Amino acid sequence: MTVAVRFAPSPTGLLHVGNVRLALVNWLFARKAGGNFLLRLDDTDEERSKPEYAEGIERDLTWLGLAWDRFARESDRYGRYDEVSEALKASGRLYPCYETPEELNLKRASLVSQGRPPIYDRAALRLTDADRARLEGEGRRAHWRFKLEHTPVEWTDLVRGPVHFEGTALSDPVLIREDGRPLYTLTSVVDDGDLAITHVIRGEDHVANTAVQIQIFEAIGAPVPEFAHLPLLTDAAGAGLSKRLGSLSVASLREEEGIEPMALASLLAKLGTSDPIEPRLTLDELVAEFDIAKIARGTPKFDPEELARLNARILHLLPFERVAGELAALGLDGADAAFWEAVRPNLGRIADARDWWAVTHAPVTPVVDDAGFLDEAAALLPDEPWDLATWGAWTGAVKAKTGRKGKDLFLPLRRALTGRDHGPELKNLLPLIGRARALKRLAGETA
């Protein structure tokens, strides 16, 4: 049996960190098992599904490196859902109901006020042919409910362990709307069956759906997959993440926060597991470390500060080849490995490299505290070619000549050469600044 999993977002909004964590966990599970990963767009809600959200989902997954082996779109499969629905109607498992939303609300409110669970009373099962004809004559259209078996439903969840539901505690779900459109509860099962999904890994908001869907798998004669329900991420305050929560969308982390894909993947692969969160530079490392049994049942909190710190640690480790494209996209065309290695320890996000590019390659207004000292230092600047030893040799000579040491020696040089008090090690920057610029800056000129 080939392991097959799916990530099944509805293209009704931007993916947020919680959604993409489920994509990542599915992908890691597939890769670890040598199986395949399906991207399925659950787009049967035609009012809310938008092509730009579908494109956004593909862009986000591609950016993270989560390539899909198979792709499906539910709106391509209406014919198949009709076929299955007709079979379920013929076997009596789908039955027509005519209550209006208002009538259903009243029924629910009355049950709740009696302290009873709001379970559909199956009144529609008692309608006669004549009743149905009358209702249709009044212009009502049927919606269709799935008739659950009133037997226990059980499965061993890969995250939650044994799960048990009483069939009598579940409400017969509506699978077909009155306009004839099939609903997710059905379409998902038909797809999982047809596409031979072996493991359904999703959020714990779907646990009750699973109880219902197991009965639908059985009713349509499809094998029941294994299930894993992950606790949902919350924000730092413990509140749930919503799809419309812009700041935690993958797009804004990428485009506004400058987060590296491996920073997000390193965090999301480990959040809520027994493993420590460490920077990882490749998805392969995360695959090697992945085990769904490490996912704990507690609610993991997503902390943007933690992501920002991890992003900095990842940047400090990334080799030039991995960032050359991003540096070019920032407009730093001549950036090379020497530049990258000089500045990367000082970056929180890659766009910060622009500041240091400006220091090494664009005019800087020096900060001059003591022009006399800078003149003495300039006179001692060695001839080029310069390398990583030049700074040490030069400042050694300045120290011997002037008697200055420590901060008194280094800070005025840094302020003159870079116009700032802090920054990358001057040993690395000096060769990038070059002798001509350095001489001018030491003379107080903008250069």
Q: Contact residues for ligand GLU (CB under 6 A)?
A: 8-10, 42, 184, 188, 202, 206
Report the distance separating Cα 434 and Cα 447, nearest Å. 11
Minimum gap (Å) between residue 210 Cβ and ligand GLU: 9
Q: Shortest distance, CB of residue 243 to ligand GLU, whole angstroms?
A: 9
C-beta closer to ligand GLU: residue 190 or 353: 190
Beta bridge partners of 403: none
What helix, strand, coil percent values describe the chain, rounded to 5?
50, 10, 35
Give the span between the Cα atoms of 117 and 123, in whole angstroms. Answer: 16
Q: For residues 200 and 263, which CB has a smaller minimum distance to ligand GLU in the complex?
A: 200
- CB of residue 89 vs ligand GLU: minimum separation in angstroms? 23
* Min separation Cβ 81 and ligand GLU, Å: 15
Residue 229 beta carbon to ligand GLU: minimum distance, rounded to whole angstroms:
10
> Minimum Å distance from CB 47 to ligand GLU?
15
Q: Which is nearer to ligand GLU, 10 or 390 (CB)?
A: 10
Q: Which is nearer to ligand GLU, 217 or 320 (CB)?
A: 217
| Separation of alpha carbons 220 and 74, rounded Å | 18
Cα separation, 295 vs 26, whole angstroms:
13
Residue 23 or 263 with smaller CB distance to ligand GLU = 23
Q: Among residues 69 and 369, whose Cβ is nearest to ligand GLU?
A: 69
Question: How do beta strands 174-176 and 143-146 pair?
Answer: antiparallel
Task: Say which residue the tokens 């390398």 belong to.
Answer: 387
Calpha distance 178→158 (Å, rounded): 36
Q: In 130-198, at which residue ranges do the beta strands (DSSP E only) sit? A: 143-146, 152-157, 161-166, 174-176
Structure tokens given for 402: 């002037």
- The answer to whether 275 touches 294, Cβ cutoff 8 Å, is yes
